[in-house]
Amino acid sequence: MVQGAWNLASGSSDTVLQELAGLTTPAIQSAPEADPNDNTNINARNDVSRDSLVQLQAANAAMPLVKLARILAKKTSESIAKKRRAGALDVELNSVTMKELNEATELIYMSLEDLSSLLPLLTRTAEAMRIHRQNEIRSLIADLREAMGTTLTILESRLVPFMAKILGDSNELRLETSFPILKQSWEKASDRLMEISLSFEVDQAAI
């Protein structure tokens, strides 16, 4: 049950990563053929170019978050599988702990799915990108920044103690040894994505 939730989280990360990759390689949109000197056509092409640029920047900044989330999901799933081969993990974990470990996947992975659905809405055109959408994206990024720390805390307090019973003093790389670098990298990537979101506000005001 617990391992299944983290396997699904890993699959969710792969899906989100593909969606973001699609934003980094936007389809070439044909420009109007009528009059190349027509200001309307020129402005339309400029809007498409600006919109593609901001989506590209946001998607590129979000991809490291998804990759880090995928690393955590795979490491956690592999650790649980190792524990299950050595002993019945699901039997040892009580229902409350299992519920917390399952819900921990939602803190990051559902938020990443929400983010990937909002990023395509990022445009520099005022009528296309409303203030409430900008605020929604920034609020989601702020929540994501804290989500990794919360998730790691749950894993460290709930899952790691059970892992220690099996691994003992083994020199094998433990799940928790990756936590500090994951958290640091996650916060750095989140801050970068927020910077891009805030810079968009400046660009919007300048239109």
pLDDT tens digits, 35-85: 455 544 444 444 445 666 777 888 899 999 999 999 999 888 887 777 666
Higher pLDDT, 190 or 132: 190
pLDDT per residue as tens digits for the range 142-171: 998 899 999 999 888 888 876 666 555 454
Contact yes or no for 114/122 (Cβ under 8 A): no
Higher pLDDT, 127 or 19: 19
The confidence score (pLDDT) of residue 198 equals 83
The confidence score (pLDDT) of residue 104 equals 82
Higher pLDDT, 172 or 152: 152
The confidence score (pLDDT) of residue 12 equals 87
Domains of the chain: 2-21+48-203 (1.20.1410.10)
Neighbour count for residue 41 (Cβ, 10 Å): 15
Angle, nearest 10°, between helix axes 95-118 and 131-154?
A: 150
Higher pLDDT, 74 or 175: 74
The confidence score (pLDDT) of residue 177 equals 84
